[in-house]
């Protein structure tokens, strides 16, 4: 680890090696963050069970600094969306996401969270959590094995390693806007889409009434 940190490209005089470390701010910042990712304790469905197994005796993701699962979003860094996202649940998921402080990451674990999975066609199923919140890493599988989850989390660590303190969104001037919470209407509604929903429903009404009108005219 120290070797990895300690290669910024400056020569360290031999007598000081092992006592002094020269590194870049980005490296030490990212190293600290990626080595203590605290996941949100949040199991949605079957994939959640494999997540628990990953945390438990055999696979143990404490080895990667992730054993501190927090039940509160305010204390967590990464949301592992482990399971089927339903329309009834998505308002809560968006709310939890908004409550997590920056820097925050989202891992979509399994087919369901990534794109709807086996239940995609269901009337209460969201076709992937990325329809509502941004996702950093997708992990395929149904359910992904614990090894696959670990691999996904390592991919997330690599992603963190590439970030730069100059560019990360949480240090920019503009405030970060919260994602509007979807509303449970006759179907799930994104508040940003109200105008197009109305347009669609109006269009449907018109086409229905015009198609209903055709046989009436024919009869006449």
Partner 1 sequence: MSELTTIVENTLETRFPEVVVRDERKGYEGFIIQAEKLVEVVTKLRDDFGYDYLSSVTGVDYLPEGKMEVVYHLYKSTGGSALVLKAQTPREVASVPSLVPVYPGAELQEREAWDLYGIHFEGHPDLRRILMWEGFHGHPMRKDWQEAYYEEDSKPYKSRWPDGEVWRSEDKNTFHKNVDYPAGFDPETWVPDGDASLYAGLGRVVKPGNGGGLGTEQVVVNMGPQHPSTHGVFRMVVTLDGETITALKPVMGYLHRNHEKIGERNTFLQNMPFTDRLDYLSSMSNNFGYALAVEKLMGVKPPERAEYLRVIMAEFTRISNHIWAIGFLLNDLGAYFTPMLYAVEERELILDIFEAVSGSRMMCNYFRFGGVARDLPEGVYEKIRKLVYDRLPRKIDELDLYLTNNEILRSRGEGVGILTPDQAIAYSASGPLLRASGVPYDIRRADPYSIYERFDFDVAVRYHGDIYDRYMIRLDEVRQSLRILQQAVRDMPEGPIQEGKPQYQVRVPPGEAYGRVEGPKGELGYYVISNGKPNPWRYHVRAPSFVNLTPLEIMCVGNKVADSVAILGSIDIVLGETDR
Q: Which residues bind partner 1 (CB under 8 A)?
A: 41-46, 48-50, 52-53, 56-58, 71, 83-84, 86-89, 92, 96, 116, 118-127, 131, 142-143, 145, 183-189, 193-194, 196-198, 200-202, 204-205, 208
Give every CB contact of residue 4 below 8 A, 6+ residues apart in sequence: 31
Can residue 84 be called a binding residue for ligand SF4 (CB under 6 A)? yes
Return the axis-axis angle of helices 146-161 and 25-34, rounded to nearest 10°.
Answer: 160
Can residue 111 be called a binding residue for ligand SF4 (CB under 6 A)? yes
Q: Which of 37, 41, 81, 112 binds ligand SF4 (CB under 6 A)?
A: 112
Residue 110 interacts with which of partner 1, ligand SF4, none, CB < 5 to 8 Å by class: ligand SF4
Contact criterion met (CB below 8 Å) for 135 and 142: no
CB of 64 to partner 1, least distance (A): 18
- Which segment (3-11, 45-53, 124-132, 174-182) binds ligand SF4 by CB under 6 A? 45-53
Q: Which of 16, 142, 205, 213 binds ligand SF4 (CB under 6 A)?
A: 142
Can residue 86 be called a binding residue for ligand SF4 (CB under 6 A)? no
Q: Which of 147, 139, 70, 67 is nearest to 107 (CA)?
A: 139
Number of residues in contact with ligand SF4 under rule CB under 6 A: 12
Percentages helix, strand, coil for the chain (3-state, rounded to 5) are 45, 10, 40
**Burial class (CB within 10 angstroms; exposed 0-12, middle 13-18, buried 19+) of 89:** middle
CB of 169 to ligand SF4, least distance (A): 29
**Cα radius of gyration (the chain):** 23
Which residues between 143 and 202 bind ligand SF4 (CB under 6 A)?
Answer: 143
Residue 120 interacts with which of ligand SF4, partner 1, none, CB < 5 to 8 Å by class: partner 1
- CB-based contacts of 114-123 (< 8 A; 24+ apart in sequence): 114/138, 114/139, 114/140, 117/84, 117/142, 118/142, 119/84
């Amino acid at each position: 680890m120290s070797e990895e940190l300690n290669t910024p490209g400056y020569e360290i005089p031999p007598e000081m090696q092992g006592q002094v470390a020269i590194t870049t701010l980005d490296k030490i910042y990212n190293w600290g963050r990626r080595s203590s990712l605290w996941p949100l304790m949040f199991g949605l469905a079957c994939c959640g069970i494999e997540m628990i197994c990953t945390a438990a005796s055999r696979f143990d993701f404490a080895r990667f600094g992730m054993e501190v699962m927090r039940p509160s979003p305010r204390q967590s860094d990464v949301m592992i969306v482990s399971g089927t996202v339903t329309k009834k649940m998505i308002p809560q998921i968006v709310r939890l996401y908004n409550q997590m402080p920056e820097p925050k990451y989202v891992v979509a674990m399994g087919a369901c969270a990534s794109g709807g999975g086996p239940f995609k066609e269901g009337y209460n199923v969201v076709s992937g959590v990325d329809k509502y919140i941004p996702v950093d890493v997708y992990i395929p599988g149904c359910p992904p094995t614990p090894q696959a989850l670990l691999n996904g989390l390592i991919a997330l660590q690599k992603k963190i390693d590439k970030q730069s303190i100059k560019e990360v969104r949480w240090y920019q001037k503009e405030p970060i806007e919260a994602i509007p919470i979807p509303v449970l209407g006759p179907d799930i509604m994104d508040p940003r889409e109200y105008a197009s929903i109305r347009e669609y429903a109006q269009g449907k009404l018109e086409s229905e009434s015009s198609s209903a009108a055709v046989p009436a005219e024919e009869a006449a």
